[in-house]
């Protein structure tokens, strides 16, 4: 007899691993472009090259597919922030954080758009993660930044809004890629735009946070 995936407790088959991988890959494509509600199982099945019932044999519902995708991606997505090191040189840490985030935007744009779609539409499936693990991690790193500012190593600033600014500027190149390309035109929208962006953002944040230039009242 055939047992759907969620009911199995035994270890997974070779075929299971391959097919689940294949499905999640296709689902990432579709969910990232159309959001949860805008995506259809048929479409995912077609991209994955299998029939709809076959796909539903591995993931019993559309939500289960989305859930599995979110769980798998969320972890990797926060890695750059986790690497943020309180013991390191502040300017170097911020600079390399920007670079890592920008690399992720370049190398994993679908993952970025998956989250962007989800959050844009009110984060109905990941609200708990936002208020739980994500908030905890940001709180921790915000404290590091605050300590650097207090020690006079960087300018005084609101650490939360600094993190938001780094997120938004870097993810912009994945989420709004079509706009970036449209505005830059054919000539400037090659892969070189990521180097240009990196150079600009490092300049902006390093200078923007350097001590002595700030008029902050804080």
Are 73 and 111 in contact by the 8 Å Cβ rule? The answer is: yes
Residues within window 13-42 making contact with DNA, judged by CB under 7 A: 13-16, 19, 39-42
Q: Which does 1 bind (CB under 5 to 8 A by kind): DNA, a second copy, none?
A: DNA
Are 31 and 69 in contact by the 8 Å Cβ rule? The answer is: yes
Sole binder of DNA in the list 24, 26, 43, 141 (CB under 7 A): 43
Sole binder of a second copy in the list 21, 92, 184, 190 (CB under 8 A): 184
Are 48 and 25 in contact by the 8 Å Cβ rule? The answer is: yes
Q: How many residues bind DNA (CB under 7 A)?
A: 26
Choice between 19 and 102, CB closer to a second copy: 102
Structure letter (DSSP) for residue 213: S
Sole binder of DNA in the list 6, 21, 61, 213 (CB under 7 A): 61
Choice between 20 and 129, CB closer to a second copy: 129
| Greatest extent of the chain over all pairs of C-alpha atoms, in Å | 72
7 to 1, 33, 51, 104, 209: CA distances (angstroms): 12, 30, 21, 35, 53
Q: Does 1 bind DNA (CB under 7 A)?
A: yes
Shortest distance, position 110 Cβ to a second copy, whole Å: 11
Give the range of 5-13, 80-88, 95-103, 176-184 binding DNA by CB under 7 A.
5-13
Q: Does 172 bind a second copy (CB under 8 A)?
A: yes
Q: Is 169 helix (H, G, I), strand (E, B) or coil?
A: helix
Q: Does 47 bind a second copy (CB under 8 A)?
A: no
What is the C-alpha separation between 94 and 81, in angstroms, rounded? 10
Q: Does 114 bind DNA (CB under 7 A)?
A: no
Choice between 19 and 172, CB closer to a second copy: 172
Which residue do the tokens 């019932």 mark? 53
Give the range of 10-18, 67-75, 136-144, 165-173 binding DNA by CB under 7 A.
10-18
Choice between 38 and 182, CB closer to DNA: 38
Distance in angstroms between the alpha carbons of the first and the last residue of the chain: 68
Q: Does 123 bind a second copy (CB under 8 A)?
A: yes
Residue 168's contacts (CB-CB under 8 Å, 6 or more residues apart) are none
Let me know the angle formed at the C-alpha of 16 by 14 and 22, rounded to the nearest 5 degrees.
105
Choice between 10 and 187, CB closer to DNA: 10
């Amino acid at each position: 007899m055939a047992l759907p995936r969620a009911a199995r407790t035994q270890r997974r088959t070779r075929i299971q691993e391959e097919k689940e991988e294949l499905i999640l890959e296709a689902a990432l494509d579709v969910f990232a472009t159309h959001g949860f509600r805008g995506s259809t199982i048929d479409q995912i099945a077609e991209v994955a090259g299998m029939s709809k019932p076959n796909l539903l044999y591995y993931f019993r519902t559309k939500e289960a597919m989305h859930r599995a995708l979110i769980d798998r991606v969320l972890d990797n997505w926060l890695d750059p922030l986790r690497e943020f090191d309180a013991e390191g040189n502040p300017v170097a840490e911020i600079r390399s954080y920007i670079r890592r985030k920008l690399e992720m935007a370049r190398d994993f744009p679908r993952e970025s758009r998956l989250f962007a779609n989800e959050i844009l539409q009110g984060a109905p499936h990941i609200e708990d993660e936002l208020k739980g693990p994500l908030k905890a991690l940001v709180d921790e790193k915000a404290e590091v930044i605050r300590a650097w500012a207090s020690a006079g190593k960087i300018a005084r600033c609101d650490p939360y809004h600094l993190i938001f600014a780094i997120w938004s500027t870097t993810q912009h190149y994945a989420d709004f890629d079509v706009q970036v390309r449209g505005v830059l035109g054919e000539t400037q929208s090659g892969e070189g735009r990521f180097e240009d962006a990196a150079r600009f953002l490092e300049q902006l944040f390093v200078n923007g946070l350097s001590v002595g230039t700030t008029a902050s009242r804080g």
